[in-house]
A and B are shown apart, each in its own frame.
Chain A
């Protein structure tokens, strides 16, 4: 059985990373911005797992790193959602432009 080459997976993860970066700067809805950061973290996860499986199959370091990233990302998301809910109660909106009061 033939395997998918590593380069394909790396292209996928890089594309995912830059999609996430684009979404982070272009989107105006706070929840979507949060989802974009999740895309970035998931691209990293794909990288780690792929490198581990293709290049270093004798060890598990990449997989463990992925596990830790997932756990920390969950903590980060829960805190951001809490802050967004708090913001929504104050502003009645979760649009970045509307919530920004501090300017240069």
Chain B
């Protein structure tokens, strides 16, 4: 039993050990020699990522509170990939803040641990604890630049809105407890009936989830936090934490709330249309690139919700597939943006005029990631969006698909506007952005992955296989 425990809890245990190691390193003043330290930590993160390819059998632990299967393993691997790539791209920024770089890793890994617990939860209590563990460290991370006004503002906005959304989620959970008296997922799935109290509880819980995902009626915090937080934190927030919440949202809708699917399909369609439209329209008038990406990520969440309305195995597969591509494209984009902001302090659109003339490599990487986010054919973003729409098509959500089509055009405008600034306009000023070898390699990796994943069908087939094992 005991060795089995270690294999089943492997993801969580490795992250816990890493956190403790980093704490000890902090105590031993290891951050005096910053460069070696960063290398050590990055290698540890790589080992963590590599370890996620070892297979874990399907199992449950602690009376069903914790469960793991092929699908959850795959989702955790995607999160691990994000956590590996983000510090590699932010290495120069971390080097600058050498005295607190260990804290960055510790907080990021704690948040990752929360994401793992959320994904593996088999009981609403674990779900709640996981969500909290994954959000609270992010607030501290958003406030990372203690001497900057915007950073503190982002921190306080994030923690307050996440506290409010947790309150909503919990109120829904408490009503659910009143209605059923048992909160384990298996029990709820078997016994859920669409009566009035359940629907009220469900509405509150949806509100909480939409808040965490920054879908539209609850999106107000997102752009501010994206803009104010440091670049590495923004990319973590928009990639890893969003991924974990979307994954758990999909699997909960498809299992626990399957009996309410008639109700949630309507809610999600409305929220999807609103998110796509509002996100794209607000993104059009932004000059700050981080803020623009904040709004565009709202509209991307809208597209994910379109895929979820498929309410089938295809919906689950396409969501996972899209999120994998979204992780790579977003990390690539924020990596370049972070390098520029770090070297020059500029992150508004105008200073990127003629970026291609001065820094061809970085500009190309940025262009590829933007095309992938927009969903232009040779990149894998196209296939991601195609599968999402195909999934909604399978459920005959025609009106939703028409709105998604219009929004694809709108989002294309947003991304092409940045591309025009980068490639066509003439430069007004020289942006000198150096890059390290690690950064170049990581960007190349992201770029090749973006270009290739769409053509390697085994990726999608593996996701599909893992999904079918579970449902």
**A: which residues have CB within 8 A of B?**
17, 20-21, 24, 30, 33-34, 37, 40-41, 43-44, 47-48, 51-52, 55-56, 59, 61-62, 64-65, 68-69, 72, 75-76, 79-80, 83-84, 86-87, 90-91, 99-102, 104
Contact = CB atoms under 8 A, between A and B. Distances in A.
B129 interface: yes
A41 B208 CA distance: 13
Q: Enumerate the 9 nearest inter-chain pairs by beta-carbon distance, A residue then B residue, closest first.
A: A40-B167, A47-B174, A51-B178, A37-B163, A44-B170, A56-B181, A83-B155, A87-B152, A72-B132
Contacts of A20: 167
Nearest to B148: A90
11 contacts: A17-B167, A30-B156, A62-B174, A65-B125, A69-B170, A76-B166, A79-B136, A83-B143, A83-B159, A99-B153, A101-B150
B177 interface: yes
Interface in B101-155: 125, 128-129, 132, 136, 139-140, 143, 146-147, 149-150, 152-153, 155
B163 A83 contact: no
Given A48-B177, A56-B181, A87 B163 contact: no
Interface residues of B, number: 39
Nearest to B286: A104
Nearest to B149: A90
A19 B179 CA distance: 24
Task: Tell me if B's interface is mostly helix, strand, loop or mixed.
Answer: helix
B347 interface: no
Nearest to A43: B171
A87 B156 contact: yes
A45 B188 CA distance: 21
B126 to A, nearest CB: 10
B152 A83 contact: yes
Interface of B: 125, 128-129, 132, 136, 139-140, 143, 146-147, 149-150, 152-153, 155-156, 159-160, 163-164, 166-168, 170-171, 173-175, 177-178, 181-183, 223-224, 227-228, 282, 291
A37 B162 CA distance: 10
A102 B228 contact: yes
Nearest to A104: B282
A62 B177 contact: yes
B224 A102 contact: yes
Contacts of B160: 24, 30, 33-34, 37, 80
A41 B170 contact: yes
Contacts of A65: 125, 128, 173-174, 177, 183
Contacts of A76: 132, 136, 159, 163, 166
Given A47-B175, A68-B129, A80 B156 contact: yes
